Chain A
Amino acid sequence: MKMTKEIIERIEGEATLELEWENEQVSFAKIKFFNYRGIEEILKKRPLLDALALTPRVCGICSHSHAIASVLAIEECYKSAGEALHITQKAKDIREIALNAEKIHNHIKWYFFTILPELKRVGDTTYAGNAFKDKQWFQAQSAVMQSLKMGAHFTGQWPHGSFVMAGGVTCDPLKSDLISAQGCLDAVIAFCEEHFYGMPLEEFLSFDSALQVMSSPSALSYGIDEMIKHGFDRLGRSFDRFLALGESYRYEGSLKASKTTVLGADIKYVHESLQHTFFEDKHKGYTYSKSAMYKRNYCEVGPLARLMVSKDALMRDFHRRFKDAALTRVVARAVECAHLLWRTKVLIDHINLKEPSLIPPKKDIHSLSGSGIGVIEAPRGSLIHSVVVHQGLIESYDIITPTVWNLGNGDKQNPSTAQKALIGLNSFTKADFILKSFDVCSVCTTQ
């Protein structure tokens, strides 16, 4: 049996993709992550609030997401100890704006700096690209920076801002800050209208057919054409099973979907597996990435999952045509970005600055004992922080990241979401692209 091993480049962190081949087709894939840093161990016996500062250091992309998941887990600890904290709508809105800034920046960055160049490389394997000579690259970079600047009005900095605290947020913005933030957001919207979607945001958001998106010249329709040309409208399909455990303004509670059937989900069915990891067996293991499952099933998380559980009309049309192919997964990020831009504009417009930013807990944190789980929808999907605290010190801290959902390792009988999407392909270049369609992040897997 033939076996190939390649380092996956241009992702967040590093990964190796090992493919097993039979009759010129991928028969199995192993996705290997080698960077273990042990942040969960480091947090043990530290004061609870240190988690707010240290967990964002898990990832240079999703640092706000980690901060928010962490504060939600800490607030749940207070609740389990008998004090339910009241979080003002203003604080909730600011947390959401920060999270949206992170998602918007991630989606633009990923589409323009990973997907577009990768598509060119699929068409021409000698393509090297030169970011410094590509005008659109500069404009996309500027949009990325504007979206982060928009968020930094509230978070102080990206990455690794520490703007959340048990009971709310630490910032107290002025009206002028909102106007400045809105200006940054408008610049991002202008970029997306001109380049990403090729039309006004409102028009794009009114669509319910893939054909409408494809009919207007834009970076998105160019990408769709290229993906169809290379067969990614059929390739990269997985289980067609989705999960979104964190909250969103577009749906109620935690949800799962199997194809287009949407049902409630409960975090209690989440299971973290050590299969194939160095933690289970340091000799036979081959990755530091754990795998997460829902009722022993692998599910896809991320923008496509969120849009599928929210029954988004446009994504459902793409899904009807292409199922959960790589194309659908890529388009979902673009579509979600449009919704987030709109939503964030509304949030900034309507935020009530008269409310307090933070209502401090009454209970002394040094005597706090209990446990809590914080779940949010990070750029790449559901992110779970679970903490047990005793007398103010962390007893245990467990983080389940989105990459662990999508890019874990199952076995041939029960492959993970990404493994399933890779099996049957006939070239490494295509496997590489399909793996990247999950927006691979190795640093979050191996905290």
Chain B
Amino acid sequence: MSLLNSDVTFDFLILEGALSHDERLIQRFNLPFYEILDTLAARAKYIICAGSCASFGGVFRLRDPEKITGALFSGKEKGGYWLEKNNIINISGCPVHPRWLVETLVALHHGEKVLLDEFLRPKEVFSYLAHHGCLRNEYFEWKVDSKQLGEREGCLFYEHGCLGPMSHANCNKILWNDISSKTRAGSPCLGCTEFDFPRRALYETQKNMSLPQTPFGISKRAYYSLAGVAKSFKIERLEKKLIDEND
């Protein structure tokens, strides 16, 4: 309360969680949350949305997408809690990777310009796709499915809902907990950094005429032609176990 009643200004206001103008949904200290947020936001140099809820509304927006939104976006549409605001940076992800947050804050603190993508996410993190650095890349290139989960072999894109090729994040470059990632642990990427997280049926690949969606920025013609060619070859090495004890 003392901070609220002061006129202190600050460099960063970090927001976590989805927002709403409806005081019945969110309030603190017996005050509607919008009063607190508007007061503090006016004094912040940068407003940092940490995570997909603050950025786009995320999981909890699903309860009432009309009333619950991100700070500047509601899903992919501009017009969240604020209609316009020129000092917002979205660091989406569920959860946000601690390095994404810290590295952005440090860069801004040093007065560096942080380049942002169309969803106001730092390009150094979000120009990469979760697909980059995935250990199953070769299976993706040659269109070899993972027959079932729980194995090291095969790509999770075709049957298991992996959104790695269309999800912006450097998960497989910098890794999680310094060691691994969802795809390295055999689980599909859930696309948690994107505006439409969480999609329905997260462990199923959405198909159109039995074809999966194309990777981000790759035309259907390019992707399906190449996929057709790749699939026409049977690469024996990729059909086998990565490590076969009987060999």
In the complex, how many angstroms separate the beta carbon of A97 from the nearest chain B beta carbon? 12
Q: Is A431 an interface residue (CB 8 A)?
A: no
Q: A161-B182, A357-B151 are in contact. Are A34 and B200 (CB under 8 A)?
A: no
In the complex, how many angstroms separate the beta carbon of A441 from the nearest chain B beta carbon? 16
Q: Please give me the residue from chain A that is nearest to B184 by CB atom.
A: A156
Which one of B29, B63, B177, B198 contacts A148 once the chains associate, using CB atoms below 8 Å? B177
On chain B, the residues within 8 Å of A49 by CB distance are 201-204
In chain A, positions 26-61 with a C-beta closer than 8 Å to chain B are 34, 37-39, 41-42, 46-47, 49-50, 52-54, 57, 60
B148 engages A162 (CB within 8 Å) = no
Q: Is A245 an interface residue (CB 8 A)?
A: no
Q: Please give me the residue from chain B that is nearest to A160 by CB atom.
A: B95
* One of A165-173, A253-261, A408-416 at the interface: A165-173
CA–CA, A357 to B243, complex, Å? 15
Q: Please give me the residue from chain B that is nearest to A43 by CB atom.
A: B62
In the complex, how many angstroms separate the beta carbon of A443 from the nearest chain B beta carbon? 10
Against B, the Cβ 8 Å flags (1 = close, 0 = not) of A141-163 are: 00001001101111111111111
CA–CA, A155 to B198, complex, Å? 20
Interface centre among A14, A39, A163 (most CB of B within 10 A): A163
A60 engages B178 (CB within 8 Å) = no
Q: Is B187 an interface residue (CB 8 A)?
A: yes
Q: Is A352 an interface residue (CB 8 A)?
A: no
CA–CA, A57 to B63, complex, Å? 14
Q: Is A360 an interface residue (CB 8 A)?
A: yes
Q: Is A356 an interface residue (CB 8 A)?
A: yes
A160 engages B63 (CB within 8 Å) = no
Q: Is A358 an interface residue (CB 8 A)?
A: yes
In the complex, how many angstroms separate the beta carbon of B187 from the nearest chain A beta carbon? 5
CA–CA, A151 to B176, complex, Å? 11
Q: Please give me the residue from chain B that is nearest to A47 by CB atom.
A: B201
On chain B, the residues within 8 Å of A7 by CB distance are 29
Against A, the Cβ 8 Å flags (1 = close, 0 = not) of B88-103 are: 0000001100000000
Q: Please give me the residue from chain B that is nearest to A168 by CB atom.
A: B150
Q: A38-B63, A165-B150, A356-B150 are in contact. Are A50 and B180 (CB under 8 A)?
A: no
A54 engages B59 (CB within 8 Å) = yes
A50 engages B198 (CB within 8 Å) = yes
On chain A, the residues within 8 Å of B152 by CB distance are 172
Q: Is A80 an interface residue (CB 8 A)?
A: no
CA–CA, A302 to B95, complex, Å? 26
Interface centre among B29, B63, B149, B184 (most CB of A within 10 A): B149
In the complex, how many angstroms separate the beta carbon of B183 from the nearest chain A beta carbon? 8
On chain A, the residues within 8 Å of B183 by CB distance are 156
A41 engages B63 (CB within 8 Å) = yes
CA–CA, A53 to B171, complex, Å? 17
On chain A, the residues within 8 Å of B182 by CB distance are 156-157, 161-162
In the complex, how many angstroms separate the beta carbon of A168 from the nearest chain B beta carbon? 5
In the complex, how many angstroms separate the beta carbon of A188 from the nearest chain B beta carbon? 13
B190 engages A162 (CB within 8 Å) = yes
B178 engages A149 (CB within 8 Å) = yes
Q: Please give me the residue from chain A that is nearest to B204 by CB atom.
A: A47
Q: Is B179 an interface residue (CB 8 A)?
A: yes
Q: A163-B185, A172-B150 are in contact. Are A156 and B180 (CB under 8 A)?
A: yes
A152 engages B177 (CB within 8 Å) = yes
A38 engages B176 (CB within 8 Å) = no
In the complex, how many angstroms separate the beta carbon of B245 from the nearest chain A beta carbon? 8
Q: Is A391 an interface residue (CB 8 A)?
A: no
* Chain B residues packing against A (C-beta within 8 Å): 27-29, 59-60, 62-63, 94-95, 148-152, 171, 176-187, 190, 192, 198, 200-204, 243
